[in-house]
Amino acid sequence: MNERNWRRRDIDRGKTLGVLLVVLGHLVARQDPVGQGWGSAWYEPLRAALYSFHIPFLFYLSGYTAGWSGAASLTGRAYRAMLGRRAKHWLLPALLFGLAVACGKVALHPLMPVDHAPASLGAGLLALVWQTDQSPAQSVWYLVVLFGFAALVPVMRQLTGAGILPLLLLCLPLMALPLPPVLYADRFLLYLPFYLAGLLAAEQDRPWCRFLDKARWPLMLIFLAVLPVLMLRAASWPRPETMLGASLIALPALHAMIRRLWLPLLRALDRLGPYAFAIYLLNTVFIGLAKAALLQILPWTAASFAVYAPVLMAAGVLGPILAARLWRECNRNPALQRRI
């Protein structure tokens, strides 16, 4: 199979759903709404539950993509060509976006409220590659780690001669191993098992998908039953173990759901799909801008969060879509492109 020329609708829909969950998890960044009240009481438990499975779901789907398309088995010249494409599509946008965000936050911090603003431009640029837990552009970490997986897994398979299952079993005990926050290495071992799980599922694509289709209702009902428990307890449980346990339930349930979801919702995911990358990369920018504008007329309190939440969610989704469409129009119009 040509690694560059393939699409899987369920995987595309799943990635779009995962990105929407990422936006939902970004509505509160640095400071929780002041006070207590019904307006925000639901959000922190929901965010704790989301962070136990939504990023693992994206890595599972990326691993599935790599396995189903053949990218995880490439060697030699084909492997190098694949890495070149991945660097162009993932690392270059991550670098450019990180630089733009660091510069923008330093410039705007004296003028408006800015979450995670670096102390200086030098500190912000350094944090993009060193002490990346303090990075001013946190969202780029997924692209950097994903590139690392795409580069490492084919080499691991070639050097060890092992299948995906032995590699997965080997990596599970390493999830909690502390690594320094340099080039986001501290997140590498934590999420590698979910990428490998996607590869393993792709190796058994037909039987796995038959299982998902036949068991979709039990899988979704079990997930819905476990979700309130995650909302109540996930914040206080150890992170690697919580992510692993939650993902064993959530990943197959979400995959089954996006294969047989209510048709209008599937069509909505299809319409958003072409913009999923832009939404992932730019959502925090537009959420921050919308929040800064709302702060001029509405305090950041628990009571007002009922207004903030839908506005910030809409900004995090629609803002990147408008930016992507404008960018495409600019690139289609040579005269306008020259002005830029």
Average pLDDT, the chain: 89
pLDDT given at position 148? 96
The residue-averaged pLDDT of 50-64 equals: 96
The torsion defined by the Cα of 195, 196, 202 and 203, in degrees rounded to 10, comes to 170
184 phi, psi to nearest 5 deg: 65, 25
> Measured between alpha carbons, how far is 298 from 211 in angstroms, rounded to an integer?
49
pLDDT given at position 280? 95
Confidence of residue 7 (pLDDT cuts 50, 70, 90): low
pLDDT given at position 125? 86
Higher pLDDT, 65 or 31: 65
What are the pLDDT digits (tens) for 240-295? 999 999 999 999 999 999 998 877 888 899 999 999 999 999 999 999 999 989 99
The residue-averaged pLDDT of 171-182 equals: 90
Q: Is the pLDDT of residue 78 over 70?
A: yes
The residue-averaged pLDDT of 209-218 equals: 95
What are the pLDDT digits (tens) for 13-25? 999 999 999 999 9
| Model confidence, pTM | 0.91
Higher pLDDT, 334 or 314: 314
Give the tokens for residue 281.
């990369």
| Residue pointed to by tokens 């200086």 | 120
**Contacts of range 117-125, beta carbons closer than 8 Å, 24 or more positions apart:** 125/99
Q: Is the pLDDT of residue 154 over 90?
A: yes
Rg (CA), the chain: 20
Contact status, residue 63 vs residue 194, Cβ threshold 8 Å? yes
pLDDT given at position 241? 93
Give the tokens for residue 325.
């469409």
Confidence of residue 8 (pLDDT cuts 50, 70, 90): confident
